[in-house]
Amino acid sequence: MSEHAEAKATAPLFNPLSPDFIRDPYPHYDLLRRVDPVHITPHGMYLVSRHAEVSGVVRDKRFGKDFVERSTRRYGPKIMDEPIFRSMSHWMLQQDPPDHTRLRGLVVKAFTARRVEDMRPRIQEIVDQTLDRVIPNGHMDLIEDFAFRLPVTIICDMLGIPEEHREVFYTGSRDGGRILDPVPLSPQEIANGNATYMMSQMYFQQLFELRRKQPGDDLTTQLVQAEEDGSKLTNEELTSNIILLFGAGHETTVNLIGNGLLALHRNPDQLALLKAKPELITNAIEEFLRYDSSVQMTGRVALEDIDDLAGKKIPKGESVLCLLGSANRDPAVYPDSPDRLDITRPNVRPLSFGGGIHFCLGAQLARIEAEVAISTLLRRLPELRLDDAENPEWRPTFVLRGLKRLPASW
Ligand code: HEM
């Protein structure tokens, strides 16, 4: 066996931060689904890659979140003294019922299909203003200059962040995603996470004061009032969940727009089809979500001993990593070439928004934002071309999959 072949044969099946994996995780998923669909990682976690098990686990009440137990197992008991971990432990995303039900119930009304559909004119206005600014230049970075502004502006609107405070969010760092990856953080990464969290906490405490004095028609006012009420949420829960909403509300959507635009331009027949038939946009967005999801994984913990998950036993307390990006390419569900982008594909039901009680709160909002952004871009800049569609620069994170930049000209 050549050295290269030997290295390949002994390489771990799951090395999600390796450059090769970040560039193209899909051949790795294919191998996992075929060879070991419930694979135990070097860090002792159960990695689930087929659609049937991923879809089952995210909805199964025998699995929960148990963030504190999971983190202390991985890092030791002192980890909960770290501000960033303490804050994450209060996210609704990391809670089991009844706390999850209580926290989600406080904000769910702002995300109903009706409320979000009402935001469409505002979304269109932001996209048009963004394009008005860049069109005279003849080139832009589709991530920084285009995809980024929309979700940030919308989540600032929803949280009641005043216009004059927003510039820092438009120019802020997008390096927080590493904390979600299933590879332990180094002490330096934990320190960086703490520093970013403390800055956000300081800002949001000021915003809470402002909204106590000047209530508005926004989520922050709603949550501040719930906190004052006493029994509905604590001050720590308030801060943590506002930070969650802010983060979840933009990074993921920026990447849906970016990954979708890259996929389209790498498949010129599909790009031409969408330009010719703009009414395909709704199905195209589902296909972009399926084809290259901006969230690749979500996690659960076994709340009891599980006797049989695709032939494996999972002891109580063990972590299960659900590979959403792999489930979306499972030929068992998409027999017609799952690795092909097809914006007319029937019955696309991506698992990119997770499932069960944690199903993404912002799913419909993200869909509409991506729909308006991509269809407006194709309509207003039909000549747009990517400068380098073959070797784009990916962000070095696994769970949040997205591009660092995507330069384009017209
Ligand atoms: C393409 C864009 C997005 C993707 C792919 C995405 C994906 C996800 C996933 C996979 C989960 C976890 C589901 C689970 O564990 O079963 C989730 C939860 C969540 N998402 Fe999103 N998301 C997106 C956009 C948004 C937006 C725009 C918002 C808010 C403005 C948002 C807010 C949330 C919240 C609050 C949760 C936690 C819900 C809970 O625990 O009950 N997301 N999202």
Measured in angstroms, how far is the CA atom of residue 399 from the centroid of ligand 1?
12
Task: Tell me the CA–centroid distance for residue 359 and ligand 1, in Å.
Answer: 7
CB 335 within 8 A of CB 92: no
Q: Are 241 and 89 in contact (CB under 8 A)?
A: no
pLDDT of residue 10: 53
> Rounded to the nearest 10 degrees, how much is the dihedral formed by the CA atoms of 153, 158, 163, 168?
-60
- All domains in the chain, ordered by first residue: 14-409 (1.10.630.10)
Chain-centroid distance, C-alpha 330: 20
Distance (Å) from CA 132 to ligand 1 centroid: 30
The rounded Å distance from CA 249 to ligand 1 centre is 8
Percentage of the residues of the chain whose pLDDT score is greater than 90: 84
Q: What residues are in contact with ligand 1 under a 6 Å CB criterion?
A: 58, 92-93, 104, 155, 244-245, 248-249, 252-253, 256, 293-295, 298, 352-356, 358-362, 365-366
**pLDDT value at position 178?**
85
Residue nearest to atom 14 of ligand 1 (CA): 354
- What is the model's pLDDT at position 5? 46
- For residues 32 and 375, give the distance between their C-alpha atoms in angstroms, rounded to a whole number: 35
Q: What is the Cα–Cα distance from 25 to 27, expressed in whole angstroms?
A: 6
* Residue 384 alpha carbon to ligand 1 centre in Å: 30
Per residue in 136-173, pLDDT (tens digit) is 999 999 999 999 999 999 999 999 999 999 988 887 66
pLDDT under 70 in the chain at which residues? 1-11, 172-174
Residue nearest atom 20 of ligand 1, based on CA coordinates? 360
Q: Are 293 and 28 in contact (CB under 8 A)?
A: no
